[in-house]
Amino acid sequence: MKQLMMIGFGAMAREVLALLPAELSLKWLLVPAARVAEVQAELGPAVTVLSRVEDCAATPDLVVECAGQTAVREHGSAVLARGWTLGLISVGALADEALARDLRLAAGQGGGRILALAGAIAGIDGLAAAREGGLESVTYQGRKSPQSWRGSPAETLVDLDGVTAPTVFFSGTAREAARLFPANANVAATIALAGLGMDETRVELVVDPDSRRNQHRIRASGRFGELDIALSGLPLAANPKTSTLAALSVVRACRQCTDPLVI
Ligand SMILES: NC(=O)C1=CN([C@@H]2O[C@H](COP(=O)(O)OP(=O)(O)OC[C@H]3O[C@@H](n4cnc5c(N)ncnc54)[C@H](O)[C@@H]3O)[C@@H](O)[C@H]2O)C=CC1
Ligand SMILES: O=C([O-])CC(=O)C(=O)O
């Protein structure tokens, strides 16, 4: 039986845990120090609940982060420096150049690897392959309900309560989007990493009062031809910011860790 370490125990992590492949068991869970006792009581003795990577003496087969960009900053280097594989869902953390450099350095020195998970979007495989032949343009549009943008800087850019038609409230680079909207625009950074980079990938963020879906559209062109992918995702009931598919992409990484056929 392979052993998993998970970072974070919010809406996404709970969904992942419910769908974990039978061949992988959750052995360690990292949560903020103040929540260790409460989460340990909830999960029982089969899982060791910790707040620091340093307190795990064994070697997980896989570490998956489902906790946010701050957690990547807090734990990422320690995981990679130990030579462990880190599946990253808060990919927007890599929009911080200094952090991205530190993580690469830790991975290089310790032998760890970073898996940037596709998350809530589809098409990362095609985009990353297309890059090898040369890309001309990549744009991303993220469209969510007012409820999904609450608690983000969208609140100061558009009237989330009064909006009556789909409205673009942010237009900029993937780097800016991922940093300004850390709970909503990690996918902008993922698309950038697969394609033209953080500063050449154009991003539009939209509030749509008539939709309960998290909608994602990627358009790219290059030597390969053109790509146009539209995805209409259902948010998790426990967190309207987060698409169900993002949690499922973490489950996919867990499956890839255990199954001899990797797809
Ligand atoms: N790439 C993608 O497509 C997507 C990525 N995300 C990322 O996934 C993250 C998690 O999403 P949800 O579970 O829906 O959010 P959530 O807010 O429901 O849960 C986050 C959990 O992480 C924990 N946490 C925060 N800081 C931590 C730390 N330093 N160490 C350990 N645990 C920590 C919190 O206590 C909380 O339980 C988001 O913050 C976002 O960065 C979310 C949606 C899509
Ligand atoms: O779940 C989604 O729809 C996308 C998301 O929040 C993110 O990229 O951070």
Quickly count: other Cβ atoms within 10 Å of residue 29's Cβ.
23
Ligand 1 centre to CA of 67 (Å) is 3
28 has which bridge partners? 5, 48
For residue 71, name the pLDDT band (cuts at 50, 70, 90). very high
* Stretch 240-245: mean pLDDT: 97
pLDDT of res. 99:
98
pLDDT in tens, 4-15: 999 999 999 999
239 is in an annotated binding site: no
194 is in an annotated binding site: no
For residue 93, name the pLDDT band (cuts at 50, 70, 90). very high
pLDDT of res. 48:
98
pLDDT of res. 81:
98
**Dihedral angle sign, alpha carbons of residues 105, 107, 111, 116:** negative
Ligand 1 centre to CA of 224 (Å) is 35
Counting from 1 in the atom list of ligand 1, the atom nearest the Cα of 90 is 41
pLDDT of res. 43:
97
Ligand 1 centre to CA of 12 (Å) is 7
Ligand 1 centre to CA of 187 (Å) is 14
pLDDT of res. 191:
98
pLDDT in tens, 21-41: 999 999 999 999 999 999 999
Quickly count: other Cβ atoms within 10 Å of residue 34's Cβ.
8
For residue 125, name the pLDDT band (cuts at 50, 70, 90). very high
pLDDT of res. 195:
98
* This prediction's pTM: 0.98
pLDDT in tens, 179-200: 999 999 999 999 999 999 999 9
Report d(CA 93, CA 241) in Å as an integer.
17
Quickly count: other Cβ atoms within 10 Å of residue 165's Cβ.
8
* Stretch 86-112: mean pLDDT: 98
Q: Looking at ligand 1, which residue's alpha carbon is closest to its atom 7? A: 90
pLDDT of res. 64:
98
In CATH terms, 124-242 corresponds, of 3.30.360.10, 3.10.450.50, 3.30.200.20, 3.90.1300.10, to: 3.30.360.10
Pick from 199, 144, 197: nearest CA to 168: 144
Where do the structural domains in the chain lie, given as residue ranges? Answer: 2-120+246-258, 124-242
Counting from 1 in the atom list of ligand 1, the atom nearest the Cα of 14 is 13
233 close to ligand 1 (CB < 6 Angstrom): no
* Stretch 119-128: mean pLDDT: 98
* Stretch 228-247: mean pLDDT: 97
Q: How is domain 2-120+246-258 classified at the architecture level of CATH?
A: 3-Layer(aba) Sandwich (3.40)
Q: Looking at ligand 1, which residue's alpha carbon is closest to its atom 39? A: 68
Is 216 among the residues known to form the active site? yes
Counting from 1 in the atom list of ligand 1, the atom nearest the Cα of 186 is 1
187 close to ligand 1 (CB < 6 Angstrom): yes
120 close to ligand 2 (CB < 6 Angstrom): yes
Return mean pLDDT, the chain.
98
Helices 97-110 and 69-81, axial angle in degrees (round to 10): 20
Report d(CA 197, CA 173) in Å as an integer.
9
pLDDT of res. 139:
98
Ligand 1 centre to CA of 243 (Å) is 12
pLDDT of res. 54:
97
Quickly count: other Cβ atoms within 10 Å of residue 83's Cβ.
14
pLDDT in tens, 140-161: 999 999 999 999 999 999 999 9
Report d(CA 74, CA 80) in Å as an integer.
12
Active-site option among 75, 82, 216, 241: 216
Report d(CA 18, CA 9) in Å as an integer.
12
214 close to ligand 1 (CB < 6 Angstrom): no
